A and B are shown apart, each in its own frame.
Chain A
């Protein structure tokens, strides 16, 4: 199927499964290293990369578990590779400790979670969206994650590029919180030619820099990243560390470091946050949704408009950082909010926290798409 001269970017129009599009997005973004452990519904990502990565000079390795997978992509990143893993809920949980190591050591990489129903083994083959708060708080300690929520195979491609770019730009592990429906559905995917892709590489230290401090951040709060084998003799530790990278058991250093790794995301929130707004300008009721559920929400909003109800859609393309500011702008006192998501109200609480008003929750614990009718009913209820 693939010509002898393997193309990194399969430019053109495709009819493609979401997981496959995810793998293609990673390759187009320049991913050179994948480590993972098979788990439904993400396995097709690994299978596609097992096929394609080695032919492009990259490395695919199936590890013994997700603990090892996460550790391996961090190691690969320090050797200079754009690296990623893909998993689902149970594996995502196992990755949490080393996700924290990646945040603390400021190691760029991408983690894709194709969500299924949980807790525990839950619904291996059926959809869920209940890991979105784990994305925010799942690893111990304070941090500010970046997480994307693709709603189509096209976005499985596009947001992988965005995720790799953000990982490299802000020097951190970045999450792609996909879901089983988006991962397994097949739709049109347009892959642009390689030269039209905007790719970002990590900031690098000045050559031969003397007295240079590997963990001293620039004005943008992101330190340039040295690599193993370049002669810098760096020390990298998950312990609280000073600007030399040396362990420091010190409350002042702790507060500075942990604040900075959160603030480097917060100060760039406007650049990072990505939203889609449909008919929100005059909407009296706004549906907030994301991922596969946003597809139903769109139908519900259009159906409400047909019935003369001024509804709008605010689709979260990034879940984290949360678009609190936009939420507060929209919450002018007269507007009502409906939040539709496939969990028991994880983002709904976040919406209420920022709008300072109760929202109508359309929730389900997972297993099947929330139908547009359920969301339409909530819109009509909110409108009366």
Chain B
């Protein structure tokens, strides 16, 4: 039997899809562990009273933190979502499972290349690897192999939905969760194409086959990779929000047309936000900057605001149907706050919107960017989006995957149910501490903000120490909650009590 019926959701689950989801999730979690460990080390280095690592290791581990957490953890998890939404959610099969395994192997090999070269000290270039900083050719080869693997995996999404339509798994419209992942996959193609266009010349340059690579061109094309990859995250995260609302509460979008319109706005307009990385760059004209970051990009910001209220609304409607109809907020009080899939999702929506989203819109404005660029404010902003938002949403979703896909109960359910709260509080402290320090001028990617030994001296506002300490304490809490997450997920996958299939 290639198919089984899930006793929780009634979905028909194809065995190869199930295996692909399992392996991608577990690999993702292992790289999150590595990335989180690096986060701990650099976090306590930026905490002035600890200042743990020496400069070489600070930059080395910062490179690994960016690569493993931002790219490897997130993209492996997204590939799991690709299979979940293009096969499981459609009650159909995953076509050519071997393509899924090839993609998986390429991504894994690429990630291992990058990790080994960086640990060996041959690639202290940070994950942006700005030319003319030069890493060993193995590093760029690893990035390229990883990207080819990821492209194969997202291509698999399209193969699956086309086959599903032929098989009659759906007639016209994909379910909303799959539609969101379709948006993510489209954006992924744009992203990875830019990656290929820039990483291949950079590889040739690093091994000496090309003499000169223009740094301005590198930055332009690199951010066609670096930024849209964050938009894959946003789409996948929003798709996960809708799915958790549907699976945990039976919530349906209040207005499906509106929700889909918001995804379509993402597909068309969100990628040009790459420009916000170039706002202080003297090369580009004001018109290029203004059109890209304001007029066009705000259509995508609008879409995020639609989702941010459409999902709580769908939860509210579902809870009201369950009978929690007193007053304005009874549904909110009686919501399943002890279920980590629900609480993680809700906290992710709040954190993404109010820590990450609003600050991103501020920092992405040309006039504000000039005083925010490359300060710790930026790092604070994207720990709001990519950690409190995406990472927490994926953590929440993986709590659902345990019974549905791994057919295991969570071990230590009590600990699991407080994990999202601890992680939320910890990372929010990290994010807010960074933003406050950055608003006072503290730079990002900087080992020594006392500038000891420099020919000039500069002292920051004394409150900076306090804000960086808030970040440091938040680091400890976030890492603690991260450890709980890893232990619960890996432990449940291996030793959790089996549930009926």
Q: Do A and B come from one complex?
A: no
Binding site for B on A (CB under 8 A): none
